[in-house]
A and B are shown apart, each in its own frame.
Chain A
Amino acid sequence: MNFRKLILPLLIIAFALVSCGDNHSEKEGSNVSNQNDEAILGAGATFPYPFYSKVFDVYNKEKGIKVNYQSIGSGGGIKQLQNKTVDFGASDAPMGDEELSKSPAPIVHIPTCLGAVIITYNLPGNPVLKFTPDMLANIFLGKIKKWNDPNIASINPGIKLPDLPISIVHRSDGSGTTYIFSDYLSKISADWNTKPGKGKSLNWPAGLGAKGNEGVSGLIKQTPGSIGYVELVYALQNKMPAAQLKNKAGNFVAASLQSSTAAANIDLPADMRVSLTNTDAANGYPICSFTYLLLYKDQKYDSRTEASAKATVDLVNYVIHDGQKYAESLGYAPLPEAAVKKAEEILKSVTYGDKPLQ
C-alpha cells in the first residue's frame, strides 16, 4: 500500500476526531447523566462531600428521593451548573461577579455549613503556639526564617522555641483550602495582597508543595520545623497540633467547630456571598468559610418540570434545617441561626416561572 496516499485521509479523519472532541467539551460534564430520572443530580466541592453524603443518605431513607452527588471539585461544579447538566452545584468559594455575569441565568448561593483552615506545625513536644496575623504572613512570605525568631518568642513567652529553620509546606494542587488561606493573608498583609495574592493556586514565595491535605500533613509529620495549613476536619480526624490565631477583635482563638460557627455571627449580606476570613466576631476563628449549594433563581429552564424543581428546593431546605444536626459529628461547623434565616429567605426567592417554590 502506498502510504503517501494515506496521509491526506489520515489528516482528515484526525481533524474530524478533534472537532468531535470540541463538541463534547462544550457540553462538558455530560458524564453526570440522567441515569435515573427520579434522582436529584448535584456536583461540585469535595470538602463538604462526607457531610452531604450523610445528609443525602438520610434524606433518601426518610423521603425516598435519591440524590446523586459527584464531588468533582468546586470549579467543575460551577461549570456543570452553567451547562445545566445538574440540578444543583456546590462550591467552597462564592462565585465572583464576572463568573456570575457569564452564567446563562441568575444563580443563588445557599450556605450549608462552615469549614476552617488551621495552621499546623512540627516542633519538639508540639506546644500550642500563638500566632499574630503579621507573624503568620511574614512566615509564609519567607521573611521569618527561624523558629527562635524574637517575633515568635515575644508572643509565646514560656515556650522554648528550637533553633530550627522554618520549612513551609503548602498545597500543590488547586484547592479551596488554599483559596481561603490566601484570602485571609491578603486581608491582613498588604505585602501578601500585592504578591502572591489570593487564588486556588499561587506563585508561592517560599516552601514546598504537597498534594492534598494528606500530602501536606504527611510532609509536616516528617519534617522537623515545618509549618503548613490543612482543613479543620482533616486536622480533627488526625489529631494534629494547631495554632491559636489572633482575630480582628484581638483575642487568641483556637480553631474549633464552635469558633468557626461564631465567625459567621456577623452582619451577613443578603446574597450570602461573603468571605468569612478575619471577621469582626469577637470569639470567631479568623480563617473560616461557608461552603455553598448553587441553584438557578428561576428553576424553569430547558425542559425542567415543576416537580423536579420543587424536589431540588425541598432538598436544599432540608440541608439547611434538619441536615444541620449531622454536621458536628462529621467535623463540620453548623450554620449559626442568623445564617439559616438568611438562607431561608434566599430559598423563598427561588421560583418556577413566577411561582415561588417554598
Chain B
Amino acid sequence: MIPAITFKNNGINFKEKAFKKTLTLSAIVAVIILIAIFFTLLINSFPSLKALGTGFFYDKTWDPVADEYGALPFLVGTLLTSFLALIISTPFSIAVSIFLGEYYKKGIVAETFKNVIDLLAGIPSVIYGFWGLFVLVPIVRIIEMKLNVPPYGVGIFTSSIILAIMILPFSVSLSRQVISMVPDHLKEAAYSLGATRFEVITKIIIPYTKSGLFAGLLLALGRALGETMAVTMLIGNTHLIPTGIFSPGNTMASVIANEFSEATGKLYTSALIEMGLFLFVVATVINIIGKQIIKRFTL
C-alpha cells in the first residue's frame, strides 16, 4: 500500500511541477518576445540613428527622394488622432459601462448589448476603413462645408471618429467589469441614507472604480496609437504637420504600412524601422505615465 501512495504522490508532484513550469515558461516567452522586438528594431535602426541623429525626432520634412527623414509630422498625427479618439470615446464608454455594469447586469438586453459591443472589437479594421470612406467621409465633408474649412472629408477628425468607435469595446469590457464588482453593501448603505441612483453612481460607483475605469481608457489608448489600416484609409496621408483637427495628416503606423514594402535604400528602410522603434517607445512611455496615474488614484 505504501509504495502505491508514494507513487501517486509523485504523480501529483510531477503534474504540479509541470503545470507550474508551463506557466512560468509562457510568461517568460511573452517577456522575451517583447525584448527581442525592441532589440530587433534598435539594431536595424542603427544606420538611420547614425546618419540622422536626433534630427529624426524634430525635423518636419519626410522626403524619401532627397533622403531626408523627420518624424515630427507623424508623431503629431499619431498623438492628435489617438487622444482626440480617446476624448470622443470616453463619455460613451463610461456611459455604456454604467449601463451594462449597473443598470442591466443580466438578462437578454444586457447579453445582446455585451455581445454587440464585443463584436465591434472583432470587425477587421479594413472594414472600418471602408465604412468610414463611404459613410463617414461624406458626412464630415458636409460638416466641413458648413464650417467653411476645406472640404477634404478625410483627415485627423474623420480618423479620430473611426478610432473612437474601434477602441470603445476595449475600455467598455474592462470598465463594465469593475463597475459590476462594486460591493453591494456600499451601494446599499448609500441607498439606506436616502441617496438617489444618480447619487450612488456619481458618489459611490465612479469614485470606487476610477482606477479601473482609467485602466480601461489606457488600454483603449494603446490600441488607438498602433491602429494602422483604418487610419491610413481616412487620414489623407500628407507629410505635413496638421494645422487643425480638420486638416489631413499621417500617423507613424500608417507611414510604415504605406512605404515599407517598396522602400529601397538602406537609410530609407532603416528610417522606417526607426519610426517603428519610436512608436514602440512612445506607446511604452504613455503606458508608464498611465500606470503612475492609476497608482495615484488607488492611494
Contacts and interface: CB of A to CB of B under 8 A. Distances in A.
Nearest to B239: A203
A199 B68 CA distance: 13
A198 B138 CA distance: 33
13 contacts: A10-B31, A13-B32, A14-B38, A18-B43, A21-B36, A174-B260, A174-B261, A174-B262, A195-B66, A201-B259, A208-B237, A222-B153, A223-B152
Interface in B102-150: 133, 137-138, 141, 150
A134 B44 CA distance: 42
B182 interface: no
B264 interface: yes
Interface of A: 1, 6, 10-11, 13-15, 17-18, 21-22, 25, 72-76, 78, 99, 165, 167, 172-176, 195-204, 207-211, 215, 218-219, 222-223
Given A18-B40, A204-B239, A208-B237, A199 B35 contact: no
A74 B264 CA distance: 10
B63 A21 contact: no
A115 to B, nearest CB: 16
B62 interface: yes
B35 A75 contact: no
A73 B264 CA distance: 11
Contact of A200 (B38, B141, B152, B264): B264
Question: 8 smallest A-B Cβ distances: which pairs?
Answer: A209-B237, A174-B262, A172-B237, A203-B63, A14-B35, A17-B36, A197-B65, A199-B65
Given A14-B39, A75-B262, A165-B150, A201 B64 contact: yes
B259 A173 contact: yes
Given A17-B33, A174-B258, A174-B263, 5 more contacts: A6-B28, A14-B32, A201-B263, A203-B65, A218-B133
A48 to B, nearest CB: 15
Contacts of B33: 17
Interface in B148-183: 150-154
Q: Which of A11, A78, A209, A223 has the most CB of B within 10 A?
A: A209
A278 B38 CA distance: 47
B270 interface: no
A196 B63 contact: yes
Nearest to A22: B43
Contacts of A13: 32
Interface in B20-61: 24, 28, 31-33, 35-36, 38-40, 43-44, 61
Contacts of A99: 264
A203 B261 CA distance: 17
A276 to B, nearest CB: 20
Given A21-B40, A167-B152, A209-B236, A75 B63 contact: no
Contacts of B237: 172, 208-211
Q: Which of A195, A198, A222 has the most CB of B within 10 A?
A: A222
A173 B272 CA distance: 13
A75 B32 contact: no
A14 B161 CA distance: 38
Nearest to A218: B133
B261 A75 contact: yes
B232 interface: yes
A62 to B, nearest CB: 33
B259 A15 contact: no
Contact of B39 (A15, A167, A195, A215): A15
A1 B24 contact: yes
Nearest to A208: B236
Nearest to A226: B152
A199 B64 contact: yes
Contacts of B260: 174
Contacts of B294: none
Given A199-B65, A203-B63, A211-B232, A223 B153 contact: yes
Nearest to B33: A17
Contacts of A173: 257-259, 261-262
Contact of B262 (A18, A201, A203): A201
B32 A209 contact: no
Contacts of A1: 24
Contacts of B257: 173
Contacts of A203: 61-66, 68, 239
A202 B258 contact: no
A18 B39 contact: yes
Contacts of B152: 167, 208, 223
B238 interface: yes
Given A13-B32, A202-B65, A208 B262 contact: no
